[in-house]
Amino acid sequence: EAQVTQNPRYLITVTGKKLTVTCSQNMNHEYMSWYRQDPGLGLRQIYYSMNVEVTDKGDVPEGYKVSRKEKRNFPLILESPSPNQTSLYFCASSLWGEDQPQHFGDGTRLSIL
């Protein structure tokens, strides 16, 4: 089954403790992206990657890092999480090129205390 898989689905942690949210897709998509979803603000892009070893900042990249060492994986790294990063995070992927809809994972809910 074609899917985007995120782990963990839920995480409660404390300020400053490094964490990684993994994202994996099995559709051989070139393009991958991370979004955060907050009430009243909708979905905002954090980082994206057009292919292996190619990443770029989205609209809200502060406090986050990403890497793209393999085509199928695109982890989101919070080196020193803070409470304002408490949010619902979505990974998405698509074929690269014009007019390609993105396919989303089921989300990771992070709570930073």
Partner 1 sequence: GESVGLHLPTLSVQEGDNSIINCAYSNSASDYFIWYKQESGKGPQFIIDIRSNMDKRQGQRVTVLLNKTVKHLSLQIAATQPGDSAVYFCALMTGGGADGLTFGKGTHLIIQP
By beta-carbon proximity to partner 1, the closer residue of 14 and 100 is 100
Q: At closest approach, how far in Å is the CB of 78 from partner 1? A: 20
**40-69: b (≥16 Cβ within 10 Å) or e:** eeeeebbbbbeeeeebeebebbeebebebe
Closest to partner 1 by CB, 62 vs 98, is 98
Q: Which two tokens stand for residue 104?
A: 């989303």
- Residue 25 beta carbon to partner 1: minimum distance, rounded to whole angstroms: 12
The string of DSSP letters for 39-97 reads: TTTEEEEEEEEEETTEEEE-S--TT-EE--SSSSB--EEESS--GGG-EEEEEEEE-SS
- What is the smallest separation between the CB atom of 112 and partner 1, expressed in angstroms? 20
Which residue number, 55 or 86, has a Cβ lying nearer to partner 1? 55
User: Nearer Cβ to partner 1, position 17 or 56?
Assistant: 56
Residues that bind partner 1 (CB under 8 A): 4, 31, 33, 35, 40-45, 48, 50, 56, 58, 90, 92, 97-107
